[in-house]
Copies of this chain bind each other. A is one copy, B any other.
């Protein structure tokens, strides 16, 4: 038996491990100092009550013979598909229920979707980037090239005359930069994809942080996108589902390549290698989209956004250039005094007991940049911006 040798080409990521090790070492040496962590990419607020109540009711149903449910439909129950369709309808996007695939989360789907594409496609991935876009393609032995996201284009690259790619990753609002594409920029990508028979894999995990009707939450708000784009939605950051697991992937029927419907390929993949999302979780997810669930989850999003606003307000005062902070939980800024990402990390930890994530962990273009998140508590963020200002004033 032979292993998949492509796995040997994967690079180990020491980013989060190194951050954790440095924090642990500092704590041991300075047990009396309080470290504020703005490096985390995980939510901290609990699930809202509407979701908890729905899951408890569903658990009870599963415990009674009359209401017990066995295997779920591969694409998810009608009730959650309808809820997702209704959510898209708010943005004037009409989806057929058979275009909506409910799953255990966007991360699984973003990895697994590659199954339906040939290994010989050229993959175009923005840099800096969420690491799994790269790794999942290396595992399949695909050629990947990078799309330069940088200060000059506001970390929002658009296609140019030399751009080439069959599979194109777009994440907006972006992780890690927090930058959000506008409709004109996104239209340029859709036009490029349609013209070149490329497919866009649109990661909308952070769409709930957008509250400007002019900024697209879904790529399907752009004309032509249904012919060229697959969209990944997630309740992880929207409703605190990182440990509860529910997402959805949209594969429009209009998306056809070489005469084959990608929707039918994905359905075949999912019905063969997946057995549906848990009924209880689907009921919890349904509750997210209820009026009460929307009100409660939006309160949580507003809390994280206020944290991000406090951080970006502080950066504004300091005159530091950044992206994100407004329609995103992330703030991405240039390290002061041309410090390297890790140099700045060490300085912040040592002098201010404050952590963030060094940008170079997300790719070459992240060198000299730094990510902070709004996922902590408001009290911590208030204290953190004071400490940050203190550090900056000394530089």
Which residues on A are within 8 Å of B, measured CB to CB?
1-5, 7-8, 10, 42-49, 51-52, 55-56, 59-60, 62-65, 67-72, 104-105, 107-108, 111-112, 115-121, 132, 135-136, 139, 166-167, 197-199, 240, 242-245, 257-258, 260, 262, 265, 268-269, 272-281, 284
* Given contacts A1-B197, A55-B59, A112 and B273 within 8 Å (CB-CB): yes
Contact partners of A65 in chain B: CB under 8 A: 44-46
A7 adjacent to B136 (CB under 8 Å): no
* Cβ B47 vs Cβ A68 within 8 A: yes
> When the two chains form the complex, which single residue of B117, B120, B132 contacts A272, counting CB atoms closer than 8 Å?
B132
Instruction: Check B52–A70 contact: CB distance below 8 A.
Output: no
A117 contacts B1, C-beta separation under 8 Å: yes
Which 9 pairs from chain A and chain B are nearest by CB?
Answer: A111-B273, A52-B63, A42-B70, A2-B118, A46-B68, A1-B166, A55-B59, A70-B242, A69-B243
Bound complex: CA A139 to CA B116 (Å): 8
- Residues of B within 8 Å of A112, CB to CB, are 112, 273
Residues B59 and A43 in contact, CB atoms below 8 Å apart: no
With A59-B55, A276-B245, A278-B278 already in contact, the answer to whether A258 and B46 are too (CB < 8 A) is no
Chain B residue at smallest Cβ distance from A50: B63
Contact among B115, B166, B278 with A139 in the assembled complex (CB-CB below 8 Å): B115
Question: What chain B residues lie within 8 Å of A277 (beta carbons)?
Answer: 104, 245
Given A116-B4, A120-B2, A243-B70, A59 and B56 contact (CB-CB distance below 8 Å)? yes
Assembly CA distance A374 to B51 (angstroms): 36
A273 contacts B108, CB within 8 Å? yes
Whether A7 and B265, one on each chain, are in contact in the complex, defined by CB atoms closer than 8 angstroms, is yes
List B contacts of A260 (CB < 8 A).
3, 7-8
In the assembled complex, which residues on chain B have CB atoms less than 8 Å from the CB atom of A118? 2-5
Q: Is the CB of A62 within 8 A of B4?
A: no
**Closest Cβ–Cβ distance, residue A287 to chain B (whole Å):** 11
Q: Is the CB of A52 within 8 A of B59?
A: yes
Q: Residues of B contacting A167 with CB < 8 Å?
A: 1
Contact between A136 and B273, CB atoms less than 8 A apart: yes
Cross-chain contact of A116 among B3, B43, B197, B244 (Cβ < 8 A): B3
Q: Is the CB of A45 within 8 A of B60?
A: no
Can you offer 12 A-B residue contacts whose CB atoms are under 8 A?
A4-B116, A7-B265, A42-B70, A70-B240, A70-B243, A71-B242, A104-B277, A104-B278, A107-B273, A136-B273, A244-B279, A244-B280
A59 to B198, CA, bound (A): 42
Q: Are A139 and B269 in contact (CB under 8 A)?
A: yes
| Docked CA distance A70–B242 (Å) | 5
A109 and chain B: residue at smallest CB distance: B273
- Taking CB atoms, residues of chain B closer than 8 Å to A62 are 46-47, 52, 243-244
